[in-house]
């Protein structure tokens, strides 16, 4: 089967890309052809298709210059992306197109080209941009539901996007335009929700439930060697407000007998360092970015993993990595996390933003290696039974075949 993957990045930017590359490898290993379509970037993985990629735009900051105008145009509609995508489809003649994250750097302007050629389209909902201008449903340190249900222009008064009225207005305009043109829902045949939570909120915000299919992520436990003992609590993730690392720092300052290692970088990096110093949390070690075998080694030496998110996590790949490494997980009961952390079986669930509650859970696991081992074994076994590459491949292929008719 020939499959085109469309995603704004073709390098490891975050969880969406991690899943995309894992799925790409899974499909290719089983004899399929996967052709990428993304934005040009010096960090991209090597690909023979990179000359077909769309030109880059900068979306990280609001800019009032020519670069900002180009970005605004791309967010609304990109004739360049549509033209290049159409050429790619004519060259590859794929059986199916799998979208990951295409806004804002590519835009849904590419989708009519698929419809015109009768090529079915599926899309994995990695975040909430199908239903809200703020793709994380989080800003100003709390859950953002100002635009529920689909009242996009409320985002402007509440500065939901980047804390900026201008950025919020642009996203509200883009979503209104895309809805009016039917770019997403008229051209996407199936939306893959990684969790029951995501499936439910998509339907709550007005997406036809018949278009939604739940397919959880997977992990290849054969690539992980479980270790059932460890010397610290571990956080792995982007250091941004929604990931809740501040709550962990405050909890560590309470549970000072628990060594904590924080793996990751991001916009909160320096502020979290200063907060740890202010609170006297000298039991925290900031490790920085880790990947590959170095990251697996961080997991292997941990006693348990903490996922203190304060936003609606769509799924939580970090939890699967922890289980594969034989570690229990302390997580907040938000979004999809409550589905993959079984309280007192594979870990503990705590309230979001509750540093004292998190500290209590950390102390409980730290003081019982036996409990950690038992939970870690259960998590590992769960992955081996229900979230294998083979099972995921079957589920994905069933989705592809269902839209191919």
Predicted confidence band of residue 64 (pLDDT cuts 50, 70, 90): very low
**What CATH number does the domain located at 2-130+184-218+388-404 have?**
3.40.50.2000
Closest CA to 257 of 347, 359, 330, 344: 359
Q: Are the beta carbons of 6 and 99 closer than 8 angstroms?
A: yes
pLDDT band at 88, cuts 50/70/90?
A: very high
Q: What value does the mean pLDDT take over residues 316-330?
A: 97
Taking CA 58 as the corner, what is the angle to CA 205 and CA 91, rounded to the nearest 5 degrees? 80
Domain 222-386 in CATH 3.40.50.2000? The answer is: yes
Do residues 217 and 315 touch, judged by C-beta distance below 8 A? Answer: yes
The percentage of residues in the chain with a pLDDT greater than 90, rounded to a whole number, is 91
| Per-residue pLDDT tens over the stretch 106-133 | 999 999 999 999 999 999 999 999 999 9
CA dist 19 and 29 (Å) reads: 15
Written as one string, the DSSP assignment of 327-371 is --EEEE--TTHHHH--BTTTEEEE-TT-HHHHHHHHHHHHT-HHH
Indicate if 222-386 has the same CATH topology as 2-130+184-218+388-404.
yes
pLDDT in tens, 343-376: 999 999 999 999 999 999 999 999 999 999 999 9
Kindly state the average pLDDT of the residues 249-258: 98
For residues 336 and 197, is the Cβ–Cβ distance under 8 A? yes
The predicted model scores a pTM of 0.93
In the chain, where are the structural domains located? Answer: 2-130+184-218+388-404, 222-386
Average pLDDT over residues 257-272: 97
Q: Which residues lie across from 331 on neighbouring strands?
A: 307, 349
Q: In this predicted structure, what is the pLDDT of residue 218? A: 98
- pLDDT on residue 195: 98
pLDDT in tens, 189-230: 999 999 999 999 999 999 999 999 999 999 999 999 999 999
């Amino acid at each position: 089967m020939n499959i085109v993957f469309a995603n704004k990045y073709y390098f490891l930017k975050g969880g969406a890309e991690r899943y995309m590359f894992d799925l790409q490898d899974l499909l290719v290993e089983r004899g399929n052809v996967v052709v990428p379509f993304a934005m040009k970037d010096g960090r991209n993985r090597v690909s023979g298709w990179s000359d077909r990629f769309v030109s880059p735009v900068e979306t990280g900051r609001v800019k009032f210059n020519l670069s900002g105008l180009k970005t605004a145009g791309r967010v609304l509609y990109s004739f360049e992306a549509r033209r290049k995508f159409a050429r790619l489809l004519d060259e590859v003649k794929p059986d199916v197109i799998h979208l990951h994250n295409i806004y804002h750097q590519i835009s849904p302007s590419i989708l009519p080209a698929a419809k015109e050629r009768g090529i079915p389209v599926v899309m994995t909902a990695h975040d909430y941009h199908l239903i809200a201008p703020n793709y994380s449903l989080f800003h100003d340190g709390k859950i953002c539901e100002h635009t529920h249900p689909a009242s996009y222009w409320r985002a402007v008064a509440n500065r939901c996007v980047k804390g900026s009225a201008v950025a919020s207005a642009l996203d509200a305009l883009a979503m209104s335009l895309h809805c009016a043109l039917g770019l997403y829902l008229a051209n996407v045949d199936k939306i893959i929700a990684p969790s029951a939570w995501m499936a439910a909120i998509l339907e709550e915000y007005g997406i036809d439930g018949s278009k939604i299919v739940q397919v959880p992520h997977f992990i290849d436990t054969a690539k992980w060697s479980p270790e059932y003992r460890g010397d610290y609590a571990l956080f792995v993730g982007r250091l941004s407000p929604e990931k809740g690392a501040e709550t962990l720092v405050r909890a560590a300052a309470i549970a000072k007998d628990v060594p904590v290692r924080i793996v990751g970088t991001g916009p909160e990096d320096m502020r979290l360092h200063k907060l740890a110093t202010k609170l006297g949390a000298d039991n925290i070690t900031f490790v920085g970015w880790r990947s590959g075998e170095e990251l697996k080694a961080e997991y292997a030496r941990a006693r348990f993993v903490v996922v203190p998110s304060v936003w609606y996590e769509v799924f939580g790949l970090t939890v699967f990595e922890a289980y594969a490494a034989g570690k229990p997980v302390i997580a907040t009961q938000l979004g999809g996390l409550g589905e993959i952390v079984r309280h007192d079986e594979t870990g503990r669930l705590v309230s979001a933003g509750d540093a004292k509650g998190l500290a209590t859970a950390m102390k409980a696991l730290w003081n019982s290696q036996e409990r950690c081992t038992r939970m870690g074994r259960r998590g590992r076994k769960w992955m081996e039974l229900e979230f294998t590459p083979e099972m995921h491949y079957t589920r994905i292929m069933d989705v592809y075949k269902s839209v191919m008719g």
